[in-house]
Amino acid sequence: MNCIKNKTELEENGYSILSDLYSDYEIKQILACIENTEQDGNSFMKTKDLFAIRQLIKNIPELTDLLFNTKLTQLLSELSESEYFLTKAIYFDKPNKSNWFVAYHQDLSISVDKKADLKNYLNWTIKQGQYGVQPPIEILQDTITIRIHLDKTDKNNGALKVIPKSHLKGIVRTNSKDWNIENEFICEVEKGGAMLMKPLTLHASDRTTNGKKKKGNTFRV
In a domain, 107, yes or no: no
Residue 30, classed as helix, strand or coil, is: helix
pLDDT at 133: 93
The domain in which residue 84 lies consists of 3-102+143-220
Q: Considering the domain boundaries, does residue 119 fall inside one?
A: no
Q: Are 99 and 207 in contact (CB under 8 A)?
A: yes
Phi, psi angle pair for 148, to nearest 5° = -90, 130
Q: Is 98 exposed, middle or buried (0-12, 13-18, 19+ CB in 10 A)?
A: buried
What is the value of pTM for the model shown? 0.88
Q: How many residues make up the chain in this entry?
A: 221
Average pLDDT, consecutive stretches of 10 residues, N- to C-terminus, the chain (221 residues): 84 94 94 85 74 86 93 88 83 73 89 91 89 93 92 85 93 72 88 95 80 59 61
Burial (0-12, 13-18, 19+ Cβ within 10 Å), 77: exposed
Assess if residue 110 is contained within a domain.
Answer: no
Position 60 in a domain: yes
Does a structural domain hold residue 130?
Answer: no
Query: Cα Rg for the chain, rounded, in angstroms?
Result: 17
Considering the domain boundaries, does residue 24 fall inside one? yes
DSSP alpha helices (H): ranges in the chain?
3-13, 24-35, 56-59, 63-67, 70-79, 137-141
Residues 28 and 198: beta-carbon distance below 8 Å: no
pLDDT at 10: 95
| 123 occurs within a structural domain | no
Residue 57 lies in a domain: yes
Write down the pLDDT at residue 85.
85
At 214, which CATH number? 2.60.120.620
| Buried b / exposed e along 100-123 (16+ C-beta atoms within 10 A) | beeebebbbbbbbeeeeeeeebee
Number of domains in the chain: 1
